């Protein structure tokens, strides 16, 4: 995610606070992306485990 | 003579019985193999179906997560917009700052990777200089 644009050389006090606010908003968004990716990955692993066919039975070799 | 015929008959009977048993065993083995093949195919089909269902469920969940993320991002931007208006309308918002202070802040930000492509920072450090944070904000390559 791109950072907040660099404040101008003649930036006012308000401009700096706005830049800080914008940077924080972007940080929240970036952190949200990480949480989303982890959630998707964990859900995917859970579904994969649920769909697992399991190991062959102990007496599987007896099959003709 | 009768004994010879009886002996031959017994021999034929045994041979016939053996042949029947062999044929039956072969058929049974064939049928068992076919059953095993069918069972294996069934298991493969069930596994494929389970995988497809899992993929569909995971895709649906991922879609919901992405949608929720987009809604969350929109709410975050809305919050920032509200904050921006509040800051702009607050007393002292338009107060100017010492240009040296702004310059120091800009130079400091240029030390972060996130700003390495910013035109000011490129001019300051040069392209791809890979500068790391410097508490003083001073830079040897910075023009005075």
The residue extents of the domains of chain B are 1-86, 100-137
Is residue A63 predicted with pLDDT exceeding 80?
Answer: no
Q: Which of A19, A23, A43 is best to mutate for the B interface (most B CBs within 10 A)?
A: A43
Residue ranges for chain B with pLDDT beneath 50: 133-144
Indicate the residue of B54, B65, B105 with minimum beta-carbon distance to A39. B65
Average pLDDT, rounded, for chain A: 86
Distance from CA of B5 to the nearest CA of A (A): 41
Angle at which helix B2-88 crosses helix A13-50, to 10 degrees, equals 170
Model pLDDT, residue A64:
43
**A54 near B CB under 8 A:** no
State the DSSP H helix or E strand holding residue A58, giving kind and residue range, or none if neither: none
The B residues from 42 to 61 touching A (CB cutoff 8 Å) are 43, 46-47, 50-51, 53-55, 57-58, 61
| Continuous H helices in B89-118 | 99-110
Cα–Cα distance between B51 and A49 in angstroms, integer? 10
Inter-chain touch B46–A53, beta carbons under 8 Å: yes
Indicate the residue of A18, A28, A36 with minimum beta-carbon distance to B66. A36
| CA B96 to centroid of chain Cα atoms | 49
CB B68 within 8 A of CB A33: no
Which chain B residue lies closest to A27 (C-alpha atoms)? B76
Does this model's pTM top 0.90?
no
**Which of the two residues, A27 and B33, has the higher pLDDT score?**
A27
CB B56 within 8 A of CB A51: no
Residue A53 confidence class, pLDDT cut points 50, 70, 90 = very low
**Which of the two residues, A7 and A64, has the higher pLDDT score?**
A7
DSSP state of B97: -
Classify burial at A39, counting beta carbons within 10 Å of its beta carbon; exposed 0-12, middle 13-18, buried 19 or more.
middle
Extract the tokens encoding A61.
């070799």
């Amino acid at each position: 995610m791109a950072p907040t644009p660099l404040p101008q050389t003649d930036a006012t006090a308000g401009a700096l606070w706005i830049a800080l606010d914008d940077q924080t908003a972007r940080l929240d968004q970036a952190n949200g992306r990480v949480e989303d990716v982890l959630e998707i990955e964990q859900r995917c692993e859970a579904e994969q485990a649920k769909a697992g066919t399991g190991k062959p039975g102990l007496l599987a070799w007896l099959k003709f | 003579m009768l004994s010879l015929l009886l002996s031959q008959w017994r021999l034929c009977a045994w041979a016939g019985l053996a042949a029947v048993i062999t044929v039956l065993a072969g058929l049974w083995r064939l049928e068992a193999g076919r059953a095993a093949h069918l069972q294996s195919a069934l298991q493969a089909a069930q596994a494929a179906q389970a995988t497809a269902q899992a993929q569909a469920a995971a895709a649906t969940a991922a879609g919901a997560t992405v949608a929720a993320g987009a809604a969350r991002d929109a709410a975050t931007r809305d919050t920032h917009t509200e904050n921006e208006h509040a800051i702009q309308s607050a007393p002292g918002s338009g107060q100017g700052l010492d240009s040296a202070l702004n310059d120091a802040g800009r130079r400091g930000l240029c030390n972060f990777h996130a700003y390495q492509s910013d035109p000011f920072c490129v001019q300051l450090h040069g392209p791809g200089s890979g500068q790391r944070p410097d508490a003083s904000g001073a830079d040897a390559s910075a023009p005075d």
